[in-house]
């Protein structure tokens, strides 16, 4: 039997666009605090708001993007958000004060939230159903690759050029996105009059997909734990004198994730999500514990590999599970619910972790995050795992 084609022109274009969008996000996230401090003499706390307000904008837009994606039309919403994304990149050149910077960051976050929600929804309609796990694994590689490359580009530019070159680079990425997307066909999901009627009003179910909530709870918790890696790896590395290992931490992460995704995606399609998610949660737990015990570069990089195999594969499998449970006309809402949970977890994570750091220290904090992931295995079993269908190869 011939396999349904995965690597179509449309799939490649959307995957490339997603990569460039996330690349812009991480490039700016790693440089925006420094930009605010140097250009506007902002304090560390105030400068951090320039980074976090982007996530707030993204969260706000996802609420409405999921609800109206198929009412407005995927193609229209995608082009509108890509154009707004480009406009936001151009506006950075005209920033004259910190308040204006915050406003632009919020607008940029709104565009980011809509773009990623629409692309995440559209790609699920492009990927053949029988290869949804494999296709999602490849598509979602855009995030970890951007996590590794974006900060590298950002730091390289700040070391050798002024901040305007960061905005030039982001603008170039945004323009490429619009141009290449002209050659992609975005599948629409026509709604019946009854389905459109159901979407009217402002009920809670209009903003969240009920079937996605159990997995969203898991993703929210894991987002908090992963925020400990994103936000506190650098200060931990400085304290532990492991800055050289920390500088390539996310590169190692991306390499191991890139190597594992083809296998985990295919296995997910053949056997269902539990065969991936349970081992992934265990590997994530071990990875965080190894990070807490990193006294040398070798252990820190082992932790990076384990976290990639754990958290990285857990995220792509969870997205497939969420979409598979949702009715076709609510896949957009399911995708939005998934991303909202992840953004919220990563967004509030630094606040929660910052509160416990004075009591536990970096090593104790990472050990406590490992325990939290271990507890999440039990939570996953009750909210989703025991109900998940197990397929036989």
**Reported pTM:** 0.78
Per CATH, is 208-388 categorized as 1.20.1250.20? yes
Give residue 392's pLDDT.
44
Residue reference for tokens 């958290």: 311
Domain positions in the chain: 1-202, 208-388
Residue 241: count other Cβ atoms within 10 Å of its Cβ.
11
Taken as a whole, the chain contains a residue count of 393
Nearest one of 55, 104, 99 to 350, comparing CA atoms: 55
Give residue 124's pLDDT.
85
Nearest one of 236, 38, 267, 227 to 132, comparing CA atoms: 267
DSSP state of 326: S
Where are the alpha helices (H) located in 200-330, listed in sequence order?
Answer: 213-240, 243-247, 249-271, 274-292, 297-307, 313-325
Contact 366, 244 (CB under 8 A): no
Contact 281, 377 (CB under 8 A): yes
Going residue by residue through the chain (393 aa), what tens digit of pLDDT does each one get?
567 788 999 999 999 999 999 999 888 877 787 788 888 887 766 776 777 788 888 888 987 887 778 778 889 999 999 999 999 999 999 999 999 999 999 999 999 999 998 998 888 889 888 888 888 888 888 887 887 788 778 878 887 888 899 999 999 999 999 999 999 999 887 766 776 666 665 666 667 788 889 999 999 999 999 888 877 887 888 889 998 888 888 889 889 988 888 788 888 888 888 999 999 999 999 999 999 999 999 999 999 999 999 998 898 888 888 888 888 777 778 888 888 898 888 778 877 888 888 899 999 999 999 999 999 999 999 998 888 765 444
| 261-224-218 Cα angle (round to 5) | 65
Give residue 390's pLDDT.
55
Whether 1-202 shares its CATH topology with 208-388 is answered yes
Per CATH, is 1-202 categorized as 3.10.20.30? no
Token couple for 21 = 């969008």
By CB neighbour count within 10 A (0-12 exposed, 13-18 middle, 19+ buried), where does 292 fall?
Answer: buried
DSSP state of 194: H
């Amino acid at each position: 039997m011939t396999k349904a084609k995965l690597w179509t022109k449309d799939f490649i274009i959307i995957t490339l666009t997603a990569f460039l969008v996330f690349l812009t996000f991480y490039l700016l996230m790693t440089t925006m605090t420094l930009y605010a401090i140097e250009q506007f003499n902002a304090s560390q706390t105030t400068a951090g708001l320039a980074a976090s307000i982007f996530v707030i904008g993204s969260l706000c837009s996802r609420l409405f993007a999921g609800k109206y994606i198929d009412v407005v039309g995927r193609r229209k919403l995608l082009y509108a958000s890509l154009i707004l994304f480009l406009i936001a990149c151009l506006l950075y050149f005209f920033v004259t004060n910190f308040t204006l910077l915050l406003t632009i960051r919020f607008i940029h976050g709104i565009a980011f939230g809509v773009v990623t929600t629409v692309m995440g929804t559209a790609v699920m309609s492009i990927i053949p159903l029988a290869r949804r796990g494999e296709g999602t694994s490849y598509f979602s590689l855009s995030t970890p690759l951007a996590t590794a490359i974006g900060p590298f580009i950002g730091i390289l530019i700040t070391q050798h050029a002024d901040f305007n070159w960061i905005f030039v680079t982001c603008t170039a990425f945004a323009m490429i996105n619009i141009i290449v997307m002209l050659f992609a066909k975005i599948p629409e999901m026509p709604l019946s009059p009854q389905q459109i009627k159901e979407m009217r009003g402002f009920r809670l179910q209009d903003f969240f997909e009920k079937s996605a909530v159990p997995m969203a709870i898991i993703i929210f918790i894991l987002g908090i734990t992963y925020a400990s890696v994103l936000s506190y790896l650098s200060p931990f590395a400085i304290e532990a004198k492991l800055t050289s290992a920390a500088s390539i931490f996310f590169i190692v992460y991306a390499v191991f994730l890139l190597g594992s995704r083809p296998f985990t995606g295919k296995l997910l399609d053949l056997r269902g999500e539990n065969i991936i998610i349970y081992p992934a949660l265990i590997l994530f737990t071990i990875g965080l514990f190894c990070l807490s015990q990193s006294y040398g570069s070798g252990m820190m990089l082992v932790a990076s590999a384990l976290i990639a195999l754990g958290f990285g594969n857990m995220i792509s499998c969870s997205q497939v599970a969420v979409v598979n449970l949702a009715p076709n006309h609510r896949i957009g809402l399911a995708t939005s619910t998934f991303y909202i949970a992840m953004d919220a977890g990563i967004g509030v994570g630094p606040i929660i972790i910052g509160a416990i750091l004075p009591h536990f220290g970096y090593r104790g904090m990472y050990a406590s995050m490992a325990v939290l992931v271990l507890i999440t295995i039990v939570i996953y079993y009750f909210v989703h795992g025991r109900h998940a269908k197990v397929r036989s190869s």
